Amino acid sequence: MRRATKVRLYPTVEQERFLRGQFGAVRFVYNKSLEVMSHQYNRHGRKLSAKHDLKKVLPVAKRNPRYAWMKEYDSMALQQACINLDRAFQNFFAGRGRYPRFKSKRRGTQSSYHCTNVEVGDNWVKIPKVGTIKARVHREIFGSLKSITLTLSPTGKYHAVVLVEDGLSEPVKPHIIIEDAVLGIDLGISHLLSDSSGHQEPNPRHLSRSLKNLRRKQQKLSNTEKGSRRRAKARLLVAKAHERVANARADNLHKLSRRMVDENQAVIFEDLNINGMIKNKRLARHIADAGWANLVEMATYKADRSGKHVVKVSRWLPSSKTCSSCNHKVKAMPLEVREWTCPGCGEIHDRDINAALNIKKAGIQHLLAEGLSVTARGDLRKSDSSVAVGETRSLAA
C-alpha cells in the first residue's frame, strides 16, 4: 500500500530562494508547454501529448542558452510538470475538468515533484540540488520511498508530501457482512449528512463563521490598488483565512469519514454528479461548503486501508420519493418537504433519513450482486462478527 505523509518544512533563507526558483521553473515548463500545445491545436489542429512530445523537448531546450538556467533544477520536477499538464488535458477531454489554465505565482499552491535521489530522516528531507531541508516529521515513515512533493502554500508555508510503499497488502474486505454494519448515507444541505441509523450531522457552524471572515477579507482585498503593498498584505490575509476554512473543513470530514468506516463494514453513498450540480449556482455554493466529494473520497481511501466496503449506488435511485418501510413511491417530493407520511403504510418519515435507508437497501443489493453475503445479526458465530476491527488512528491525507 502506498501511504502519503505531509510534513512541514523549514528551509533556510538560501534554500527558500532556491525553492522559489524551482517552483518557478516547474511553472515555466507547464505554462510553456500549455502555450505550445494550445497553439499547435488552434492553429494547425494538431493534438500534441504533453507526456510524450513535450517531455522529449526538455533536454533539447536546456541546450539552448536561453533556457540553460533550467539545468539548475531537478529535471524530474520539470518532466513531472509535463505529466501533470498531460493529466489536465486528459481530464478536459474526458469532460472531467475545464481547459488547462496557466499557472500563476500568485494563485494557489506551488509545487515540485522529486522521485530520484530523495531521502527522508528523523527531522529532515533530502531533495536533489537543494540538499537537506529541516523538517518536522510527526510520525514514523517506513517502507520504500517513492517520491517527495514539495509545496508552498499561499500563506508561505513549505511542506513535503512523502510517498512510501509500505510493503503491506491491502486488507481483505469481509465476504460476510452483517446488515446492521451497513450504513447508508444521504448527503444533504440542511444537514451535512443523514445516515440510515437515524443520525444526522449538522453543517459545522465554525465553518460559516470563518467563511464570513473570509468574505470580509476578500472585500478588503478588492478595495486595494493593484501592485500596492497594501494589496500584497490583504492577499496574504485572504490566503490565511482560506487556509483556516480549508483546515477546519478537512478536520471535520476526516473525523466523520474515520468514524463511519471504523464503526461499519460497508458504507453506501449515492454516486453524485457533482460536476452537473456545480452548474447550478445556488447548489454549488452548498456543495463546495459541505465538501461532499471530499467526504466520499476520504471514506473510500480509509475503507480500502481498513478492509471495509464503500459502495456508490446509482444517482437515479428515487431515494427521497420511496417509502423505506413499504416501498410505496410518491409522485413528487419537493425539496422543502422535510417530513412526510407514507400514504401506503402510514409511517412518518424524516425526508433525509428515509433516503439514507433506501440508499442502504440499494447498497445491500449491490453487495449481493457482487457475490457477497449480507446477513442479519445473530446468524453468525461470534468469531465471525468482527465489525469494528481496523486501525483507529486517523490518517492525515
| For Zn ion, the closer CB: 251 or 347 | 347
Q: Of 358, 359, 341, nearest to 350 (Cα)?
A: 341
| For Zn ion, the closer CB: 304 or 350 | 350
| For Zn ion, the closer CB: 31 or 325 | 325
Least separation, in Å, of the C-beta of 315 and Zn ion?
23
| For Zn ion, the closer CB: 238 or 323 | 323
Using CB under 5 A, list all residues that contact Zn ion: 323, 325-326, 328, 342, 344-345, 347
Least separation, in Å, of the C-beta of 347 and Zn ion?
5
Residue 133 half-sphere exposure toward CB, CA atoms < 13 A = 30
| For Zn ion, the closer CB: 51 or 321 | 321
Least separation, in Å, of the C-beta of 313 and Zn ion?
20
Distances (CA, A) of 239 to 92, 103, 112, 235: 27, 17, 20, 6
β-pairing, 144-152 vs 131-136, is unpaired
Q: What is the distance between the alpha carbons of residues 56 and 328, in angstroms, rounded to a whole number?
A: 62
Q: What is the distance between the alpha carbons of residues 340 and 390, in angstroms, rounded to a whole number?
A: 38
Contact 85, 33 (CB under 8 A): yes
Distances (CA, A) of 315 to 31, 95, 187, 351: 37, 18, 12, 17
Residues that are catalytic? 186, 270, 352
| For Zn ion, the closer CB: 68 or 345 | 345
Least separation, in Å, of the C-beta of 257 and Zn ion?
31
Least separation, in Å, of the C-beta of 326 and Zn ion?
3
Least separation, in Å, of the C-beta of 156 and Zn ion?
57
